[in-house]
Amino acid sequence: MTKEFLPTILKQKQEEVAKLTMPDLKPLRKSYRLFDFLREHRHQLQIIAEVKKASPSMGDINLDVDIIKQAALYETAGAAMISVLTDQVFFKGNIDYLADISQKVQIPTLAKDFIIDEKQIVRSRNAGATVILLIVAALPKQRLKELYDFATGLGLEVLVETHNLPELEIAHKIGAQIIGVNNRNLVTFEVDINTSLELSAHFRDDRVYVSESGVFSRQDSELLAPYFNAILVGTALMQTDSIADKMEELAVDKG
């Protein structure tokens, strides 16, 4: 993927959204509130486990995965939430994956996509998501706030993703409770955990924070644990021979 990664994806999303109609609203799937769970379990670095078949940076990761079995293993191993890629073009995901997984697990599910429109939010909720992703870099501030308020008004929680200090400040200003720091630079696509460590100096006590991308080892987790409530892990869990062992390795007790 070229360094025009984000604009390329957003152009594709605009084309997809133009073809969507606003779905009728279905009941919100019942699960616990992720924000409350992360605050109540501060003593341990929690894991948001991701179902991801492919990505623009890695190419194909695990195309043959049984997504239902994968999600069940995540839940059994103690994941706080399951993140499901729903983007088809760039990540080989599907909204149906979210629906199928959400029917089988009790824990929260995250609709992981580049959301730019209310229609995507309703579709995600209807597919069983209890949390959606909004990316600060993908939206003008006013539009971000509109979509955030729309989603929370529907009973959804929102993981607001940031990459730098100006974006973190925007997330704080719009009232985001669950804030992600993506260690992947969406321009160069390079990953650096120091992004998380540097931004942690600006965190607030009344929010919860998730470090995303580039977490592969116990050493990575231990670096992040003092500052973060959770880590979002995709590739490492999609490639491991033992999900239970990898989850145990990454779940640092802050004791």
Beta-strand relationship, 131-135 and 59-60: unpaired
Q: Can you tell me the mean pLDDT for 47-74?
A: 80
Q: If pLDDT is split at 50, 70 and 90, which confidence band does 186 have? A: confident
pLDDT score recorded for residue 89: 85
| pLDDT-derived band at 1, boundaries 50, 70, 90 | very low
Compute the distance between CA of residue 127 and CA of residue 111 in angstroms, rounded to an integer: 9
pLDDT one-digit tens code per residue, 118-162: 999 999 999 999 999 999 999 999 999 999 999 999 999 999 999
User: What are the beta bridge partners of residue 230?
Assistant: 46, 210
Q: What is the CATH number of domain 5-15+45-250?
A: 3.20.20.70
pLDDT band at 170 (very low <50, low <70, confident <90, very high): very high
Q: CA nearest 168: which of 133, 142, 204? A: 204
pLDDT of residue 90: 83
Q: How far is CA 11 from the centre of its chain?
A: 21
Is pLDDT of 176 > 90?
Answer: yes
pTM: 0.95
Q: Cα(158)–Cα(152) distance, rounded to whole angstroms?
A: 7
pLDDT greater than 70 at residue 69: yes
- Residue with the bigger pLDDT between 101 and 189: it is 101
pLDDT in tens, 30-57: 999 999 999 999 999 999 999 976 566 6
231 Cβ contact list (under 8 Å, min separation 6): 45, 46, 47, 48, 210, 211, 212, 215, 220, 221, 224, 250
Number of Cβ within a 10 Å radius of residue 245 = 11
Q: Is the pLDDT of residue 189 over 80?
A: no
Q: How far apart are CA 89 and CA 240, in angstroms?
A: 25
What's the CA angle centered on 109, arms 49 and 37, to 5 degrees?
Answer: 80
Phi first, then psi: what are they for 155, rounded to 5°? 90, 5
The region, left, alpha or beta by phi > 0 then psi within -120 to 50, assigned to residue 71 is alpha
For the chain, give every domain's residue range. 5-15+45-250
What distance in Å separates the CA atoms of residue 162 and residue 53, rounded to the nearest whole number? 23
**2 falls in which pLDDT band (50, 70, 90)?**
very low
Tokens standing for 204? Answer: 């607030």
More confident residue, 93 or 227: 227
Residue pLDDT, tens place only, 103-127: 999 999 999 999 999 999 999 999 9
- Of the candidates 242, 181, 241, the residue with the CA atom closest to the CA atom of residue 215: 181
